Chain A
Amino acid sequence: MRRSTPADGAEKGPRTGRYDGRFALFLIAPAFFFYTLFLILPLFGTVVIGFTDWTGISFSTLRFTGLENFIQMAGDEFFWGAFRNSFLFVVCCLLVQVGVALLFAIILESGPRYARLFRSIFFVPFVISLVVIGILFNFLLDPTIGIVDILLRAIGLDGPKFGWLGTTTLNVFVVIAVHIWRNFGFTMFLLIAGLQAIPRELQESARLDGATAWQLTTRITIPLLREVLVVASVITSIDAMRVFDLVYTLTGGGPFHSSETVVTYIYQLGLGGARTQHGYATAIALVLVLVIIGMSVLQFTLARAGRGALDT
């Protein structure tokens, strides 16, 4: 596995090569054009439109409203509900998805039978469209024809009265469970790549010194895996924070916005249905961008602080 942070390369720049700047710019120009026009410009637009109540596309109707959108956000219970659900997503995925992925990565790397087969099976849902998975689970969790409720009834239990996806407070956790079902195999692969990069000798010598499997795992393997674990956590939390497809197909954010997440709420407000609160939706998107960047920086910083504490 090749690992280096992108910033390393930035410090060094090209070590070799030519000095024909014009030809280089010619090579870079197409990517630069599309990237600037369709990613950087909308990003810039997010910062601007978030402070307006712009609904159309004509610049003459663009009117700045100062912090009005952000004040509206503070009093919008659906906004807070959506953010609470998204944070719930992040916390549950960090604990359960990364936890399960770590457990399975360690088990599979220790060499049980059929390790390869299990690994490949766990990855399957990751190549299937989330829309297919969402609709499939709509069937499996259906109160009348779903297998889950039928199995429960067979052992004399009852599923929730309004269904797994129709019961408020419960439905978010059901969506989270499906999200984890789909993604843990991918997280596991990231961690397996990290495990394979750990030199065998370290574990070997500790094992010869009489360390138990538990000691080996908690004192050698997991500390050495920390860097990849941080990367996996950051990817997991970003994915959880911007979940859209599954919520849209499983619950549509309902009932009564109970399972709305930040991205589905932005879509609802800005582009879905007849509602066109473009300025307000964009202001929420701006908050989302800042939260995601803040979350990643926080995790990388914590990891670095943790490493410092361990080294001393």
Chain B
Amino acid sequence: MSAAQPTRMTYREACRQALRDALNAEPRSFLMGEDVGLYGGCYAVSKGLLEEFGDRRIRDTPLSESAFVGAGIGAAIAGLRPIVEIMTCNFSLLALDQIMNSAATIPHMSGGQFAVPVVIRMATGAGRQLAAQHSHSLEGWYAHIPGLRVLAPGTVEDARYMLAPALADPNPVLLFEHIMLYNAEGEIPPDVTKVDITDARLRREGGDLSLITYGGSLPKTLEAAARLAEEGIEAAVLDLRVLRPLDEAAILATVRHTGRAVIVDEGWRSGSLAAEIGMRLMEQCFDSLKAPVARVCTREVPIPYAAHLEQAALPSVAGIVEAARGLLEAT
């Protein structure tokens, strides 16, 4: 294979390679979490890393989310660069005290004396019939909290390269990996060896409306944009990538250009990240809007087990297409 060829890999492989790079590049880093070592990771992300790096760098923990997340925070404050894995964001609620009351507060509360350079990775999202205690999307909640940086890689490229800058960040970073993306394949261009963790990225150009999304909803949104194109509607797709702090300039720029916005968010509608983005559009580019801002969010139910119910609850390609059409028909 020549050097000019793009690299093809799955999102899972990209996450694993990112971990491998981080562990090689940063001697103070280690991975810690439930079943990350011997078992190879609940979603097989860390498979093989225990053999490669040993049990000081790949640290299996008891089922004590609060203690091992808090230990990651404490270790970061005291000079290490921990990468903590929580199996799913649903379990992160058992560690919410440490994330919110310690990681997010200590830099400020200490008057800048202590930084918390920890990375906390967790799986998020629905789609595998795992029912209401394994399927929620809580990244929007975390994006509410000052002091945290919240990342949602929606592409293989971001899964591959977001971890390095996250680990270099002096602040606590939460990284949400969508469970439906782990098996997805993608290509990384040969010239890409790093990404930023600050900017939203336009994944598709279009002048008729802006579809604003992130993470697991990105592939659905791109598919919706392709279908709309078949109907002659050109939709721009903005991948937020960073949910806190939001790249407000990019959001405003695309909506000022198109005059229409549909926000696609796997979080529940009420109090969602979509609501926040919609409000910022009202505040800052009301005059550019040709139609009311629309949203496609998850229906307000605990995610059910039955496949047809689960799918009905989640944002869908058809739902995004319909919302987009609705906006164009309205104007």
A and B associate:
no
Interface of A with B (CB < 8 Å)? none
